Amino acid sequence: MTKIAIVTGSVRPGRQSRTVADWVKAQADARGDADYDVVDIADLHLPVWDEAAPPAMGRYEKQATKDWAAVVGSYDGFVFVLGEYNHSVPGALKNAIDYLNAEWHNKAAGFVSYGSMGGARAVEHLRGILSELQVAHVRNQVTMPMMTDFPDWQFSPSQASVAGLAAMLDQLVVWTKAMERVRSGTL
């Protein structure tokens, strides 16, 4: 079955990305159209990227890099859950993405974001990064403004977010399956 990782975007104490990722997983699991797992980048303990060779060369020396490569390589698609930090992608997520190259190629991604403007600017930056890594990203995304989905800093997804997640996952599953065919050369 198609495997999709729900990747958290932050490692800081008090973050919301794990709470949101767990919500995404519960909603996604109820669909039954793929196997979904939460991949919490906080659990990786990745230092700032520290390999000698560029990721495009695929010559990973550090065990943390090899382990992360095995995780990313095992999934067909991704849902990135990210807050907006300084109008952009959280540094820990950018660092985790930058560790690898070929492991991302020809896979699909969707986005669930949050922040004062729903995290839309962070997603726009992440789209550019993923395009360089040959990741097909779907149009639909979930953007959760802090005022509507995090009243008093407590996560409480709005009906718009619930509906948006369903629409994004609909697209993501289709694109993930299409990219599986691209990777296998059966198109």
pLDDT tens-place string over residues 133-168 = 999 999 999 999 999 999 998 999 999 999 999 999
**What is the extent of the structural domain holding 57?**
3-184
pLDDT reported for residue 186: 82
Residue 83 DSSP code: E
Beta-carbon contacts of 101 under 8 Å, excluding residues fewer than 6 positions away, are 54, 55, 56, 58, 133
What letter would DSSP give residue 56? G
> Span 94-112, mean pLDDT?
98
For residue 34, give the DSSP letter.
Answer: S
For the residues 118-130, what does the mean pLDDT come to? Answer: 98
- Average pLDDT value for residue range 65-76: 98
Question: Residue 187: pLDDT above 90?
Answer: no
Cα–Cα distance, 99 to 65 (Å, whole number): 7
Instruction: Tell how strand 107-115 and strand 77-83 pair up.
Output: parallel
Residue 114: give its domain's CATH number. Answer: 3.40.50.360
Rounded mean pLDDT, 41-47: 95
Average pLDDT rounded to a whole number, residues 73-95? 97
Question: Among 111, 99, 114, 100, which Cα is nearest to 136's?
Answer: 111
pLDDT at 145: 97
DSSP at 54: -
The answer on pLDDT for 169 being more than 80 is yes
Q: How many domains does the chain have?
A: 1
The label of the residue with tokens 């303990």 reads: 45
Answer with the residue of higher pLDDT: 95 or 153: 95
Average pLDDT over every residue of 41-64: 95
